[in-house]
Chains A and B, each alone.
Chain A
Amino acid sequence: MRMGMKKRGSVANTIIYIILSVLSVLWILPILWLVITSFRAELGAWTPYILPKEYTINNYTRLFTDTALFNYPRWFMNTLVVAVFSCIITTILNLMTSYTLSRLRFKARKAILNIGLILGMFPGFMAMIAVYFLLKAIGLTQSLVALVLVYSAGAGLSYYIAKGFFDTIPKSLDEAATIDGATQNMVFWKVILPLSKPIVIYSTLMAFMAPWLDFIFVSVIMKDNYNNYTVALGLWQMLTRENIYQYFTQFCAGAVLISIPITLLFIKMQKYYVEGVTAGGVKG
């Protein structure tokens, strides 16, 4: 009887191993293809065969040397600068908002939560068009400052996950600190924040990654100011009809280069990502 159970278990496990292997291949294959294509010597987006005939690292070197039309190093620096600034601002604002809405009690709290919910249900892109007009009216379009502003301004609305996290910290901690004479401000910085490592890291990670991934807002704000493009928008330009033949392999190389740091960062921070989302975003 026990032998039989064990056997059935191992058959089930074998099937699962097979399924997992097949799925892994399916999931990894496109990324593998990206890496291989980035080393392909032949130009063009489509080849009538799968594996390249010749390999080269020219696609990578040309990203940094051939900067007349597509200035990859500059775009990389742009994105880095925007990411660092908007990450700092966003994280601080986001944590302050979530903390306030989660743990402080005041008259307008319910109303603010409801308004946040309602604003979140409009497509984000809709506001973007008007933001462009607004930035134009104050003469800020096509600049990196505008980009930092746009990315950080949303911080007040993305409180959902961090608020959920703060909700789970016992209230007695604040009360104890208050009895000891701490102000609410001190409670936040000295008591709650040290306990909130996962959510701080999660917020920082998300805010830092956003400028690398977004290209819709950038394209609306930057229009044709190539010098201020971010990596995502710049790479996207390589795939327009007139550029794709010449630049497709370079696109792959550029994509690999930004994927490596983000992937490493993500794998390293995976634990915090999961903790952040499950603590904050998913609960009954």
Chain B
Amino acid sequence: MQYIDYVTLPWYKKIVVRLTKAAKNLGHNFVALISKIGKFLISAFTGIVGGIKYFFSTFWKGDIRTKLSYLFMGSGCLLRGQIVRGLAFLALQMFYIVYMVSFGWGQLKLFPTLGTATKKEIWDEVNQIYLYEQGDNSMLILLFSVLTIAISIVMFYLYFRNIRMAYENQQLLKAGKKLNTIVDDAREFLDKKLHVTFLSLPTLGVIFFTALPLIFMILIAFTNYDKNHQPPGSLFTWVGLENFRNILSGRDVLATTFKGVLAWTIIWAIFATFSNYILGMLLALMINKKGIKFKSMWRTIFVITIAVPQFVTLLLMSRLLDDRGAVNILLGYLGMGPVKFLTDAAIARVTVIVVNIWVGVPYTMLITTGILMNIPAELYESARIDGAGPYKTFTKITLPYMLFVTTPYLITQFVSNINNFNVIFLLSGGNPLALDYYQAGKTDLLVTWLYKLTVNYQDYNLASTIGIMIFVISAAASLIVYNSSSSAKKEGMFQ
């Protein structure tokens, strides 16, 4: 279909065309994804085979110093004069061995069961007292097992690096070249290997404070670590996919809660994202319209509301909108009855979306201002000559242009609205409570439910399961939006 045909379609047919296109793309991209995964697996496999081959053939070809580095890490460097590098390798190996023998292996051994011995009371006949025998702690076992596995993987990698380095050194010497001294190394890390230098600290931070904790929590989703299994008093163990089964297909209150909260989360994310987006853009258009004076004053008024910390404004709003709050007093003056802004389920849902507009529109206004300025003036000029009014100009030029340019921003906004903890938690606290829900209220999002389950009820297994579901939804949403936006790009509207 030509672009001209598409433009002349009525709006509902346009949607159909868009959707079929997106669906087609989705199928296509799905196949691409699968083949990508397949390719990745194949390359991983060949990589492993290649690695094993390299491992043995190098041992065969290596001289004594290279061979020695199979046993003692760093020998290949140390014995060829690279003292610091060699000693570092050797020290790491020592550390790893000591760590594994004294601690790591003991934890790993318990990993399959997550511990069996609970804390025991033993009656000591001789001294006539109770002795307490320290039992296992499933939580610590899991935590340290994850840590040990991570350390082992890093060690494994370093071990291979050590062999590779030893062999490369051997060949360099054979070719009559000089080996890198410590000064050369340092220089290289500031130039060709700068990425290693720059990324090492941030990576460590991410590994210890994001990646490992996430892996730990993901594993928790496959255990029964809930309020009835709190170590060290009572242990928890693996339960496979039971948590997922309970949440997705059980007939009990858990599945009801999950479905209800999930549906509301998605509705919320859609409304919150697009209401802010469109209204913020309209606000920016109004402020930046030719002939409007005091532009920076208007902008500053709205920016002030960004600058006041969100927890302050939101807590304040929750007081203002309370059944006894200032807004209801004002309504009382006008002779209207109190509105249950935050205590009636349906009204509360509208309230949080409206308040979110109050919170979010200034941000969008700020961000879109710059982009709106970049829309080519000729587009507007020719639209005006063709007799298009402001509404037509907005829907035919401004909105499509903005959607085209800001798709990545919209995706991040959507994902962050799914995880929009602050607005819900501070404003409504997830309330009003629902009797048919498990520990959740009618305005609770998945993420605030997760918070309640962990902080108030210690149902860590459910919380982790929900966390994984949130990830799946965010990933799926990003994939779909990315797909339909790439289809928009193929239409070449603005290229």
Which of A10, A12, A106, A122 neighbours the largest number of chain B CB atoms within 10 Å of its CB?
A: A122
Q: Does B300 contact A (CB under 8 A)?
A: yes
How far does the Cβ of A61 sit from chain B's closest Cβ, in whole Å? 20
In the assembled complex, A236 has its CB within 8 A of some CB on chain B: yes
* A41 in the interface (beta carbon within 8 A): no
Say if the beta carbon of B208 comes within 8 Å of chain A: yes
| B307 contacts across to A, CB distance below 8 A | 259, 262-263, 265-267
B309 to A270, Cβ gap below 8 A?
no
| Stretch of A16-24, A70-78, A165-173 at the chain-chain interface | A16-24
Contact: B471 with A121, CB < 8 Å?
yes
- Name the contact of A130 in the complex, choosing from B214, B325, B409 (C-beta under 8 A): B214
**A145 in the interface, Cβ–Cβ < 8 Å?**
no
Q: What is the CA–CA distance of A118 and B206 in the complex, to the nearest angstrom?
A: 13
Contact B470 A123 (CB under 8 A): yes
Residues of A19-37 contacting chain B, CB below 8 A: 19-20, 23-24, 26-28, 30-31, 33-34
A104 CA / B199 CA spacing, docked (Å): 11
Q: Is the CB of B421 within 8 A of A133?
A: no
Contact between A281 and B191, CB atoms less than 8 A apart: no
For chain A, the bracket of interface size reads: 35 or more
Least Cβ distance of B233 to chain A in Å? 16
Q: A122-B471, A274-B367 are in contact. Are A27 and B198 (CB under 8 A)?
A: no
CB closest chain-A residue, reference B390: A12
Question: Is B291 on the interface with A (CB-CB < 8 A)?
Answer: yes
Q: Tell me how far the C-beta of B306 lies from the nearest C-beta in chain A, rounded to whole angstroms.
A: 7
Residue A59, interface by CB 8 Å: no
CB of B447 closer than 8 Å to a CB of A: yes
Residue of A23, A24, A130, A239 touching B212 (CB-CB under 8 A): A130
**Cβ contact within 8 Å between B289 and A16:** yes
From known contacts A31-B304, A184-B190, infer whether A156 and B202 are also in contact, taking CB-CB under 8 Å. yes
Indicate whether A30 sits within 8 Å of B313 (C-beta atoms), given known contacts A121-B471, A157-B210: yes
- Name the interface residues of B443-495: CB closer than 8 Å to any CB of A: 446-447, 450-451, 454-455, 460, 463-464, 467, 470-471, 474-475, 478, 489
Q: Which residues of B, 301-337, contact A by the 8 Å Cβ criterion?
A: 301-313, 315-317, 319-320, 322, 324-326, 329-330
Q: Does B415 contact A (CB under 8 A)?
A: yes
Per-residue contact bits, chain B 390-423, to A (CB 8 Å; 1 contact, 0 not)? 1000000000000011111100100100010100
A:211-240 near B, CB below 8 Å: 212-213, 215-216, 220, 232, 235-236, 239
In Å, the complex CA distance between A41 and B486 comes to 59
User: Is A176 in contact with chain B by the CB < 8 A criterion?
Assistant: no
State in angstroms the CA–CA spacing of A210 and B330 once bound together.
35
Contact B369 A134 (CB under 8 A): no
Q: Is A193 interfacial (CB 8 A cutoff)?
A: no
Assess the B409–A282 pair: CB atoms within 8 A.
Answer: yes
A19 → B minimal CB distance (Å): 7
Contact of B199 among A100, A120, A134 (CB under 8 A): A100
Which residue in chain B gives the minimum CB-CB distance to A23?
B283
Question: Would A185 and B191 count as touching, CB distance under 8 A?
Answer: yes
The residue that A24 contacts in the complex, of B140, B301, B406, with Cβ under 8 A, is: B301
A86 to chain B, nearest CB (A): 11
- Interface footprint category on B: 35 or more
User: Shortest Cβ distance from A200 into chain B, in angstroms?
Assistant: 16
Q: Is B122 an interface residue (CB 8 A)?
A: no
**How far, in angstroms, from A149 to B213 measured CA to CA in the complex?**
14
B187 located at the interface, meaning its Cβ lies under 8 Å from any Cβ of chain A in the complex: yes
- CB atoms of A45 and B319 under 8 A apart: yes
Do B214 and A127 touch across chains, with their CB atoms under 8 A apart?
A: yes
Are the C-beta atoms of A100 and B195 separated by less than 8 Å? Answer: yes
Quick check: B421 and A125 within 8 Å, CB to CB? yes
Do B309 and A50 have beta carbons less than 8 Å apart?
no
For this complex, 29 residue pairs linking A to B, each with C-beta atoms less than 8 Å apart, are: A12-B390, A13-B291, A13-B292, A20-B286, A26-B358, A27-B302, A31-B308, A34-B312, A49-B329, A93-B205, A96-B201, A96-B202, A106-B195, A121-B475, A122-B214, A123-B419, A125-B447, A125-B451, A133-B216, A156-B203, A184-B190, A212-B309, A216-B425, A232-B309, A266-B306, A266-B307, A277-B367, A278-B371, A283-B405
- State the B residues within 8 Å of A (CB): 139-140, 143-144, 187, 190-192, 194-195, 197-199, 201-203, 205-206, 208-214, 216-217, 283, 286-287, 289, 291-292, 298-313, 315-317, 319-320, 322, 324-326, 329-330, 358, 362, 366-367, 369-371, 390, 404-409, 412, 415, 419, 421, 425, 446-447, 450-451, 454-455, 460, 463-464, 467, 470-471, 474-475, 478, 489
Beyond A121-B475, A126-B467, 15 additional pairs, beta carbon < 8 A: A16-B292, A28-B301, A30-B358, A31-B308, A45-B319, A109-B195, A119-B210, A119-B211, A126-B214, A127-B213, A134-B212, A262-B308, A266-B303, A266-B307, A281-B408
